[in-house]
Amino acid sequence: MRPTVFLDRDGTLNREVGFVRSPHMLEVLPFARPSLQRLHDAGYRLVVVTNQSGIARGLYSENDLAAVHARLHHELGELPDAYLHCPHHPDGAHGYGGACACRKPGPGLLHQARTLLGVDFVGGALVGDSARDLLMARGLPLRTVLVRSGKPVAAERAALQAAAMTADHEADDLVGAVDWLLRTH
Ligand SMILES: [Mg+2]
Ligand SMILES: [Zn+2]
């Protein structure tokens, strides 16, 4: 089975600008598409996993998110195999409140990928710009890469340290993450 690279969205594939409420707010990072192409050519499946609590907060709808992901998919050369998101927030309303199993740092979206897409974790990896991205992979056979292209990295490193976890690798951005993944797989 082809291994899978799980990718955070905001700060990893597109610029971290807070909530992306509509396609015109989406700014795909220039290296994202060629980086995904390299992973694709190396045989990896690509799955985007993203917290989208803006839905629970009433900032945008599932339809708005679908429009954002349609744009993202186009700009990424239609390379990702799937986009999985958590629309919830503990304080949310609109039917999306309360605890859920899929909000990162929980592993729920990864388990959704296994159930819905039949992906295997073995030989795979996870790339993200925040501690909660990497924490979702804790205990799973995924290599983890923290990228410095999104949230201020010092706080993310500290959050990882507080949770007694360290990234397997740290890179400036997805380019460096892919360099490392392809060099070490
Ligand atoms: Mg992020
Ligand atoms: Zn959720």
Domain ranges of the chain: 9-141+151-168+179-184
Q: What is the average per-residue pLDDT within 107-129?
A: 96
pLDDT in the model for residue 28:
98
Ligand sitting nearest the alpha carbon of 150: 1
In this structure, are residues 129 and 106 in contact, taking their beta carbons and an 8 Å threshold? no
Q: How far, in Å, CA of 104 to CA of 85, rounded?
A: 10
CATH architecture of 9-141+151-168+179-184: 3-Layer(aba) Sandwich (3.40)
Which residue blocks in 103-150 are alpha helix, DSSP H?
Answer: 108-112, 131-135
Query: What is the average pLDDT across 93-107?
Result: 91
How much of the chain exceeds pLDDT 70, in percent?
A: 100
Query: What's the 104 CA to ligand 2 centre distance in angstroms?
Result: 8
Q: Which of 8, 129, 133, 173 is catalytic?
A: 8
- pLDDT value for 98: 87
Q: What is the pLDDT of residue 134?
A: 98
- 168 carries an active-site annotation: no
User: Which whole number is the average pLDDT over 149-171?
Assistant: 97
Which ligand does the CA of 86 lie closest to? 2
Q: b/e map of 23-37 (b: 16 or more CB within 10 Å)?
A: eeebeebebbbebbe
Give pLDDT, residue 93.
79
d(CA 44, ligand 2 centre) in Å: 26
Cis peptide before 30 (omega within 30 of 0): no
Distance from Cα 76 to the centre of ligand 2, integer Å: 25
**pTM recorded for the entire structure:** 0.97
Mean pLDDT of 78-107: 93
Q: Does position 4 have pLDDT exceeding 90, yes or no?
A: yes
pLDDT of residue 35 exceeding 90: yes
Sorted by sequence, the CB contacts under 8 Å of residue 4 that are 6+ apart come out as 44, 45, 46, 47, 81, 113, 119, 120, 121, 124
Annotated catalytic residue 8? yes
Q: Which ligand is the nearest neighbour of the Cα of 95?
A: 2
CA of 130 to the centre of ligand 1 (A): 6
Token pair belonging to 87: 């629309």
Residue 59 pLDDT class (50, 70, 90 cuts): very high
